[in-house]
Structure 1
Amino acid sequence: MTEAWDAAVEAQIRGAVQRGEFDNLPGMGKPIPGRGTPYDESWWIKSFLEREKLPSDLLLPTPLQLRRRIEQVPDEVRDLPTEQSVRDFVAQLNGQIVAWLRNPDGPRVAVRPVNADDVVRRWRAERTRPEVATPATEPATVVAAPHRSRRSWWLPWRRRG
């Protein structure tokens, strides 16, 4: 049964080659990409990201994506036209951070909401500064949560001090 099937498939391929159906295919005459390189388990993910021109940050776990977004806040808000648009951007980012803090997944990474007032202050200072070569901007400051021991919340009768 399989020999008859193989023969039928081979006959169809030979007929398509004779009719020229395989001529002018994309990549014809070019080497096969990745041939001769060591095997990579995630080759298909990397090729998808490259083909679709997607950032590789999408592969990062959520807390690391949020940390990267926090680092990029000064660059993201630099061209926003109004203070309100800067505050809206920070509020949207803080909403994502709070949503992750309520239901964390991935590695344990400290991620705190961004202080909107600090971002606006930097945004104003950058707009009033004359156009000069801008040095690398430092990441946005985050609101520091007060340190709290893990046990104190479930021992209300215990004296805190």
Structure 2
Amino acid sequence: MSQPPHYESAVEKAIREAQGRGDFDNLPGAGKPLDLHDANDPDWWIKRYAARENLDLGGALPGALALGKEAATYPDSLMEVATEQNVRENIEDYNRRELADRLRPAVGKPLPMLAKTAPVNPTEPERPWWRRVLPTLR
């Protein structure tokens, strides 16, 4: 039985020709295993990109998260401040920015970690859809 002729796509042809020319020889990381330690993280690609390009993504955080991250460094970060007056100025500046962020009108959907949803009535079990639609049926 003869096999039908193999169809080679333009991409496969370009790869085969590049291999023949040796374009893939001596690439960095050749012969080394792939680094898949963060394969389950959905944002692996942006984290690797930021690390590779030495990007500071701190400015990309929403206001509430950036301020929370800054507050987490207190009081250790204030140990380097020389005088009590400077510490007070730093804290007052933080409080002003925190208040301005809280008073800023919300745009879009709130962040899931900041939005708190309370159950409607936790003691009453949810009724089936047909009981809600036709309440007279029992």
State the TM-score, normalized to the length of structure 1.
0.45
Counterpart amino acid of 1:66?
A: L
Counterpart amino acid of 1:73?
A: Y
Segments of structure 2 that go 5 or more residues without pairing to the other structure are 1-6, 117-138
1:24 equivalent in structure 2: 26
Counterpart amino acid of 2:77?
A: E
Kindly indicate whether structure 1 or structure 2 has the higher relative contact order, using CA contacts under 8 Å at least 6 residues apart: 1
**Per-residue CA shift, 1:95-123, capped at 9, x if unaligned?**
320122102653159xxxxxxxxxxxxxx
Give distance in 2, aligned partners of 1:55 and 1:40: 19
1:88 equivalent in structure 2: 89
Q: CA deviation at 1:51?
A: 4.0
- Shift in CA distance, 81/52, structure 1 to aligned 2, threshold 3 Å: farther
CA root-mean-square deviation: 3.8
Counterpart amino acid of 2:103?
A: R
- Shift in CA distance, 52/75, structure 1 to aligned 2, threshold 3 Å: farther
Give distance in 2, aligned partners of 1:95 and 1:56: 23
Counterpart amino acid of 2:14?
A: Q
**Per-residue CA shift, 1:50-88, capped at 9, x if unaligned?**
545678988976435433422322111211234444333
Segments of structure 1 that go 5 or more residues without pairing to the other structure are 110-161
1:143 equivalent in structure 2: none
State the TM-score, normalized to the length of structure 2.
0.50
Please say which structure displays the higher CA radius of gyration: 2
- Pairing 1:5-24 to 2, within 5 Å after superposition: 6=9, 8-24=10-26
Question: Percent of aligned positions with the same letter in both sequences?
Answer: 37
Give distance in 1, aligned partners of 2:77 and 2:33: 40
